[in-house]
Structure 1
Amino acid sequence: MFFMFITAAVLAEVCSALPLSGSIYIWAAESAGPKYARFFGFIVAWWSTTAWSTFVAGNCQTTANYIVSQLAIWEVDFPGGVGNGNIQWRTLIWGVSEAMLILSIVINYLPPKWYSGIFRFSLGLMLVDFFLCVIWFPIAANNSYGLRTAKEVFTTTYNGTGAPAGWNWILSFLFTAGTLTGFDASGHIAEETKNASVIAGRGILWSAIATGVLGFATTILFLFCTPDLETVFALNAPQPFVQIYALALGKRASIFMTILAVLGLIMNTSIAVVAASRLIFAVARDGVLPLSSWLGRVDEQGQPRNAVTLIFGFAALLLCTILPSQVAFTSLVSAGGVPTIAAYALIAGLRLFCTPNVFKTSHFYLGKFRKPMYAAAALFNVLIVAVLVSPYFFPVTADTFNFAPVIFGAVTIFGVLSWWFTPKEKWLRQEQIEQALRYTEGTRIE
């Protein structure tokens, strides 16, 4: 929480100075200064578009896991059994995931005036889920299988990875990093935000703080309410919490909690599509991606519908990798977090070494604390990248190999090749870079 709050503050500082759609690659370019702006702009453009498009597919499979886990609760005799080794089971998860994707995309085709209501409804669902978890769940768990003691919660360790004890502990960041990320989304819709230099930056900062504080409270609560390890590891559903809800609340009550989670995840995915489509639109508008002339168009309501369609196609194809191999899909999804965290580290590092004294007109200027905060954000996010590309099980075999570094490397190569072959006058021209820097030192972009 501490280091990701610092990271959010660094991004809010840059966002306030440059509140543009597709912001994160612009932030990287301008943070690098005029000499290296184009190079790092291309790299982060490819990183961020890959990451956000992959998030959408990952969210859809997460939603599907909640739904199909009800089969395990009601002990439905599924042909071939429940498990990723069964092609029929993987086909079921794939089909449900694709259906969740379609629902999320349809929401993005609605009139933009509805988005505010969708965002509020999503927030309301999450708050209802949170309060039920902190009130109903612990009472029910205490009355059923009982709460764990403070000693069990804070001193029990378990090494299921085969890694050395120290790295096994570090690997716990794998899961928290997946939660405390993506707060740059506020910047991607900055051009559709009133008073963007204030509101977009505030959105980055407060979304990270709210996620961290509420996520910490929820994590501690779940540690007290989770059954003993033998019971947990005996659960066979893709989403174990559905079974934990059933153990604590009862089978029928678990259906309600599942519906609540599914609705929240569909809304969450639709919001991810909003952020991703604006990012892809902005990158395409600047001519970086293939099919840029088509992706860079907007409809009569000013919405990047073509970019939404591309995300649908990309996510639908990505979900198809579930069919031949769940390991392949998991690797693709896990690779989605790497470019985002890498971009956070890169922007902080560029601010520290290349442009530590610019963006002083930002509403979130970090002042005398900026250099220590840049260093802290850069170093911590590099550590998180190392966790995300690390093997998750030791010794490493073909079945447990983490393809995230391979995919991340390939995307980076695409970025370098785009930078090399794209003419300088076509994207991020020198005068554009210098003009943007002058804006950050003088007139703010509202």
Structure 2
Amino acid sequence: MAPTTQTHSDLLVDQDDVPVIGEQDRSETNSQDDAALLKSMGYKPVLHRTYTLVENFSTTFAALYFVGGVRVTFSIGIAAGGNLAYWTSYLVTMVFTFITAAVIAEVCSASPSAGSIYLWAAEAGGPSNTQAAVNYMLSELTVFNVDFPTDTGDIKFRAVQWICTEILLALAALLNFLPPKYFRFVFYFSSFMVLLDFVLNIIWLPIGAHDTWGFRTAQEAFMSTYNGTGAPPAWNWCLSYLATAGILIGFDASGHVAEETKNASITAARGIFWSTVASGVGGLATIILFLFCAPDADTLFSFGSPQPFVSLYAVVLGKGGHVFMNIICIVALWLNTAIAIVAASRLVFAVARDGVLPFSSWVSRVQDGQPRNAVIVVWTVAALVTCTILPSSVAFTSLVSAAGVPSAAAYGLICLGRLLCTPKRFPKPRWSLGRLSKPFQFIGVFWNAWVVAILFSPYVFPVTGENLNYAPIIMAGVTILALISYFVMPEDAWLPRNRISHFLDSKGTVSETVEEVGSSRRAQHEGTASQ
């Protein structure tokens, strides 16, 4: 049997123009229904809708992968202020990220679409994982004293790094072509690997630390400070947020699969919020564990491998135990990449559905309820970005470091849009914050502005061409291109204003299809011409 395929013209509907004053309680209308909600946004339901809260929760839980996030950022956080700065900054980050996640979850409840933050930002206002997995593998060269360069400045090392990264990326992308009934097991296994990694660290790391260099005292674990960035003391402390904020960025992943989730207006919102809470609490426990079990800063930075925790595990767990832990880390990061491709491909599909991308009609094509062409686009772009490893490790690192900025900026813009542009007009969600909504939006604006500022900051001082943070330069270039597109492309070419207005004022009822709307517009045009 040939696969069922939807083309670009099958994806959009037009909405009835039903002006409404004040917020609309969707719980009293048939827009609770997933299809009606989607149609009120101007789209036809074409993606499979088979996922439940378990799969939706797992999307963000696996995408955040809190244990891996702490491991990757641990040395960065320790260098920027030491232990005291790292855990206190994480507490602040955790609380304010929970608040932001609550706002995003509320918006998702009103607008559960694959477009996620792309569409929510408009309505409110009116690939690094595979490379991280490769770092775990190549760090074994240091542990086993293999005569091969491990310096990222060496082209031989970067070539091997690139080949391994491309292979893992391809395998992760191919997983996304599994039918939904099988891919749900990827969600289950990803979450299981995160929990297994966490449990093994809780059990093995204290035993290994006790038998080797011993536990740090409470004074050492919580109160020691360090300046490894060369920045002035105050800003050195602030840079610890670069590490802590990165652990919990990306919690919108559950929103990207909202169109594939049953009872999405409730389930997707719960998935976003509670997976963020679970990851945040798990991250705090992991940080405390590492603070007591890791060596002092000078010893940690002396390991001299792309991923210091590989050498740390080798010391405290022995070669056999650390290899097993390393395999767990690599598999978890690989599955994390597969989940990231899920989220990214749904976002690309949603953007293409609105006709924004080149070849949008092909990119937005759906086969058997899955946006497989969008997966190919994400895979291709990620593979091309990975090629920047070859000429320079700085280029790739800069692109990866800039990746968190758009998410934080989008979170802040959504909060700002809800606070100022649609304070009363936005449809009332089924998952609502009630009286906390406005205060949370206000906090979300300033918190995410702070995160963006930190992500734009140089990390090592004095600043040179080699350690320059290219994130603001990359974002400036993207912003310039966006402004040019804004003035060059007509508004009706993508996400027209009236579609947003119709969504904001809609009760979820739809009476016209794309074809009917097209016919009525042609009739109107012909009538105007005859006059």
TM-score normalised per structure 1: 0.91
Moved more, 268-277 or 111-120: 111-120
The residue aligned with 1:61 is 131
Shift of 1:229: 2.1
The match for 1:395 is: 462
What is the percentage of aligned positions where both structures have the same residue?
54
**Residue number among 477, 498, 507 corresponding to 1:431 in the alignment:** 498
Counterparts of 2:194 and 2:256 in 1: how far apart (Å)? 22
Give the match for residue 25 of structure 1: 118
1:263-282 equivalent positions in 2, closer than 5 A: 263-282=331-350
1 CA distance for matches of 2:497 and 2:218? 59
Distance 1:94 1:431 in 2: 46
Specify which of 184, 197, 202 is matched with residue 134 of structure 1. Answer: 202
Task: Read off the aligned partner of 1:161 and give its amino acid letter.
Answer: T
Q: Which residue of 2 aligns with 1:97?
A: 165
- The aligned amino acid for 2:397 is T
Contact in 1 for aligned 2:138/2:150 (Cα 8 Å): no
CA distance in 2, matches of 1:188, 1:72: 39
Following superposition, the deviation at residue 249 of structure 1 comes to 0.5
Where in structure 2 are there 5+ consecutive unaligned residues?
1-93, 511-531
- 150, 153, 178: which one aligns with 1:82: 150
Displacement of 1:110: 1.5
Distance 2:495 2:302 in 1: 55
Give 1:243's aligned residue: 311
Listed as ranges, the matches of 1:35-50 within 5 Å are none
- Residues 106-132 of structure 1: CA deviation (Å, up to 9, x unaligned): 111212211211100111111111001
Match of 1:355 among 418, 422, 425: 422
Residue 406 of structure 1: how far off its partner (Å): 0.8
Alignment pair present for 1:72 and 2:165: no
Q: Distance in 2 between matches of 1:431 and 1:345?
A: 24
Opposite residue 131 of structure 1, the aligned amino acid is V
SS of the aligned residue for 1:182 comes to: coil
**Structure 2 equivalent of residue 217 of structure 1:** 285
Q: 1:12 aligns with which of 89, 98, 105?
A: 105
8 Å CA contact 1:282, 1:296 repeated in 2: yes
Partner of 2:212: 144
- Cα distance in 1 for partners of 2:232, 2:207 equals 37
Alignment partner for residue 383 of structure 2, among 316, 320, 344? 316
One-letter amino acid of the structure 1 residue matched with residue 138 of structure 2: V
- Unaligned stretches of 5+ residues in structure 1: 34-56
- CA offsets per residue over residues 60-79 of structure 1, 9 Å max, x none? 1001001111111111111x
Residue 428 of structure 1 and its aligned partner are, at CA, apart by 2.1
Match of 2:261 in 1: 193
Q: Alpha-carbon deviation of 1:423?
A: 2.0
Q: CA deviation at 1:248?
A: 0.6
Name the counterpart of 2:436. Answer: 369
CA pair 183-383 structure 1, distance change in 2 beyond 3 A? same
Q: Distance in 2 between matches of 1:258 and 1:5?
A: 30
Q: Tell me if the contact between 2:124 and 2:426 (Cα under 8 Å) persists in the aligned partners.
A: no
Q: What is aligned with 2:89?
A: none
The whole-number CA distance in structure 1 between the counterparts of 2:222 and 2:482 is 44
Which residue is 1:379 aligned to?
446
The aligned residue for residue 396 of structure 2 is 329
Shift of 1:422: 2.5
C-alpha RMSD over aligned residues: 1.4
In the alignment, the residues of structure 2 paired with residue 324 and residue 24 of structure 1 have an alpha-carbon distance, to the nearest angstrom, of 33
Secondary structure class of the residue paired with 1:425? helix
Q: Which amino acid aligns with 1:378?
A: V
Look up the equivalent residue of 1:362 and give its one-letter code.
Answer: P
Q: Distance in 1 between matches of 2:437 and 2:369?
A: 37
> Structure 2 CA distance, aligned partners of 1:360 and 1:230?
54
Check conservation: 1:94, 1:319, Cα contact below 8 A. yes
- TM superposition shift of 1:178: 1.4
Structure-1 residue corresponding to 2:179: 111
Maintained 8 Å contact 1:361/1:444: no
Q: Which runs of structure 1 show a deviation greater than 4 angstroms over 4 or more consecutive aligned residues?
A: none
Q: What is the aligned residue count?
A: 417
- Aligned equivalents of 1:397, 1:113: Cα separation in 2: 51
Q: CA deviation at 1:156?
A: 0.9
Q: Distance between the aligned counterparts of 2:321 and 2:98, measured in 1? A: 36
The structural deviation recorded for 1:347 is 0.7
- The aligned counterpart of 1:43 is none
2:361 to 289, 293, 306: 293
Q: Could you tell me how far apart the structure 2 residues matched to 1:29 and 1:318 are?
A: 27
The equivalent of 2:191 in structure 1 is 123
Say whether the 8 Å CA contact 1:359–1:365 is kept in structure 2: no
Larger-gyration structure (1/2): 2
Aligned-pair distance for 1:360? 5.1
